[in-house]
Amino acid sequence: MFSAMQPFPKFTSISNLIKNGGIQNTTMFCCNKLIEFYFKTGAYNDARRMFDEMPHRNVFTWNTMIHGCIRAGKLADARSVFDCSPDKDSVTYNSMISGYAVNSCETHAVELFKEMRSRGVPVDDYTISTMLNVTAKLSDVEYGRQIHGTLIKMGNDVEGFKVSSLIDMYSKCGSFSDARHVFKHGEKRGVLLDMVTKNAMIASCCREGEIDIALDLFWRIPYLRDVVSWNTLISGCAQNGRPEISLRLFIQMVSNTTSDGIAWNKHTIAGILKACTDLKRLMQGKQVHAAALKKLELSSNQFLTSSIVNFYNKCGHLTSAEAVYRRIHEENLFATTSMIVGYLQNGMIEEAMSIFDSLSETNSAVWTAVFNGYLKSQRCQEVFDLFRDSANHDPMIRDVSVLITVICACAIQADLGVGKQIHGFMTRIGISTKDLKPGTAIVDMYAKCGKIGSAEEIFNRVISKDRVLYNAMIAGFAHNGQEMKSVLLFEEMVTKKNCAEPPDAATFIALLSACRHGGLVETGEKYFNDMLTKYGIAPELDHYSSMVDLLGRANQLDKALALMKTVPFELDSVIWGTLLSSCWTNGNTKLAVMTEEVLLKMDMQNSSRYVQLANTFASKGEWREVERVRRKMKGGYLTKKLAGCSWVQVENKINVFTSGDKFHSEAEAVYDTTESLNNQMIDYDLLKHEMIDYD
């Protein structure tokens, strides 16, 4: 009766009808239905009053009240009613556990499920389904396996919806092998593949980066494809570095040839915009934008509008990004963040900060965008100044991702003093360097500031190490003269299974850097060959450059040149410059001239190339050749060679010097000290030679 009624202007009129007749004479059924009706029509206080005035209650009364409190957002009230309930059944527990799950109180849900099991309250499908969702949010695969075990004991782990829930849980917990095992086990047990299960497995493959498996599954059983299937795969390909496939899938979807007439929606647009952004396909992205304008209400969709702003910014079309951004009426932090990044990437600092200053609130993404923009412009001092000005009044700046960007600025600037301060600040606000991301940033900072002992100490404290952390520590040892430690750490990484991820291209850049600094020719050659044969990593130009430098330092120039001839792509000025430096170091004038000619063809306006060639001839005493090169320099239109620049921090002040600079306030003292040190080095060198002769 009540469920069919329309809400009255005053809900108390119904209550008064019952009260006038005496609530004692009203059946419990009517009271329960009235409470349910009150909750459905939003009259929380009336429902609560009716519940409190009831002389007798049954389990349905308590369950209705708990469920209603949760729907009204009164989680604490729901728990209070739950605790007072004398007879709790499966529905009672399920309602409360579900309430915790929906309100992101996963730990409370786990505790209540444990209590439910200990009291022998029967667990049903709804309980298991809720707990699988809770486990997925917690990303706790071990606990997920326990829930899976409970499901197996119940004897119904192969039903379609449970298979899809298990796949989803394992996937979100990062255990693709478990997800795939559940899927295959279901197939063996004769579980009919349905749309939900198929989509869950495709999503799992995409999260794991197994795009080929996802594609194979997608094209199987064509009638089991819906808009979710298409969107999942389009987004998955875009997010896993396969934007071309994402674009082809979208074209097939909208062409109606293979998509079974399925219409695209806002989720499709979000996925394909990511692909267009990565590929920098401006025209195709514009077409997607136009289609979205015709079909969707973009002004109310913050995610899509921010994606469009980001697309235009990444494609270098700042005016279009501005046009879209200006049409946004409500404050959209995502779009604002993208716009700030766009301005900063184009060197428009004032415009970026103008938007930033106009925000009524910030978040960690906005702060990170601002700091990263400064970092890309090598404006580290602005990062420090902005951090100092805002650290005490904006709590968002204390977010770990924001602080990591500040630590990165310290690493770039090699500013140990500020780095230590930020490290101390992080410790005071409870950010532990035992955690992976902050630990990695601190390790990198200390290593680049020359405090390799501190870097190693932090590295050893990090509980769960990944490839990025190992790469930072290997590179740190390499750049601080501890090359053998780099090699030993790499061996530990690949043999002791301390790192769940295999080495990547960046690992070998750091490792080969250690080999060339330490003159470890044979070791470097071994690791270079292992890249492809053992680890399946194709060497890039940077790896070849490192090997050329390693061989060149060892005066194996013929070998270095032979290696360069095997490079499968076009050589750049960096690798030729590396070879030239080795020629100059080893006095190989003939090869130096040949190398320099190649470099001059690449960059005829670069005066440093001529200087290097002149120096090579000078080292051999071939002064006529030196004069010829200098005449060529004077006769050409060359780019002015930038003066060498150095800086040093003294008493929290950065002192900058350029080559030949005499404008510093203490220039005279600096030159006197430099001359004194130079004389001491000459004396030391003479003394060393005398000792050798004496021996």
Q: Is residue 628 domain-resident?
A: yes
Mean pLDDT of the chain, nearest integer: 83
Cβ-based neighbours of 381, under 8 Å, separated by 6 or more: 413, 654
569 and 655 both lie in a single domain: no
| Amino acid, single-letter form, for residue 34 | L
Give the C-alpha separation, 385 to 298, whole Å: 38
Q: Is residue 131 domain-resident?
A: no
Per residue in 378-400, pLDDT (tens digit) is: 788 888 888 888 877 777 778 88
How many degrees, rounded to 5, is the angle at CA 403 between CA 399 and CA 407? 165
Q: Is residue 584 domain-resident?
A: yes
Q: Tell me the CATH number at 613.
A: 1.25.40
623 and 552 both lie in a single domain: yes
Q: Is residue 333 domain-resident?
A: no
Length of the chain: 695
565 and 610 both lie in a single domain: yes
Q: Note whether 531 and 525 are within 8 A (CB).
A: no
548 and 615 both lie in a single domain: yes
Please give the C-alpha separations between residue 213 and each of 167, 206, 233, in angstroms, as whole numbers: 15, 9, 11
Our count of domains for the chain comes to: 2
545 and 637 both lie in a single domain: yes
| For the ranges 129-133, 146-150, 369-373, 449-453, the one whose mean pLDDT is highest | 449-453
What is the separation, in whole angstroms, between the first and last Cα of the chain?
Answer: 113
553 and 624 both lie in a single domain: yes
| For the ranges 96-110, 163-177, 340-354, 590-604, the one whose mean pLDDT is highest | 96-110
Q: Beta 653-658 vs 645-650: how paired, if at all?
A: antiparallel
Q: Is residue 275 domain-resident?
A: no
- pLDDT beyond 90 at 92: yes
545 and 631 both lie in a single domain: yes
Check: pTM over 0.85? Answer yes or no.
Answer: no
SS3 606: strand
Query: What are the percentages of helix, strand and coil residues in the chain, rounded to 5?
Result: 70, 0, 25
Q: Is residue 668 domain-resident?
A: yes
Q: Is residue 613 domain-resident?
A: yes
* Structural domain boundaries, residue 636: 540-641
Domain end call among 602, 625, 641: 641
Per residue in 523-580, pLDDT (tens digit) is: 999 999 999 999 999 999 999 999 999 999 999 999 999 999 999 988 888 899 899 8
564 and 600 both lie in a single domain: yes
Note the pLDDT of residue 98. Answer: 93
Summarize the confidence of residues 16-22 as an average pLDDT.
51
| Amino acid, single-letter form, for residue 381 | Q
Q: Is residue 617 domain-resident?
A: yes
549 and 616 both lie in a single domain: yes
Give the C-alpha separation, 527 to 483, whole Å: 14
For the CA atoms of 234, 238, 239, 242, the dihedral, rounded to the nearest 10 degrees, stands at 110
Give the C-alpha separation, 519 to 62, whole Å: 77
Give the C-alpha separation, 592 to 585, whole Å: 10
581 and 627 both lie in a single domain: yes
DSSP state letter for 501: S
Domain end call among 625, 641, 657: 641
620 and 687 both lie in a single domain: no
Q: Note whether 59 and 24 are within 8 A (CB).
A: no
556 and 614 both lie in a single domain: yes
Tell me which H or E stretch contains 381. Answer: helix 380-390
Q: Which two tokens stand for residue 256?
A: 């109606």
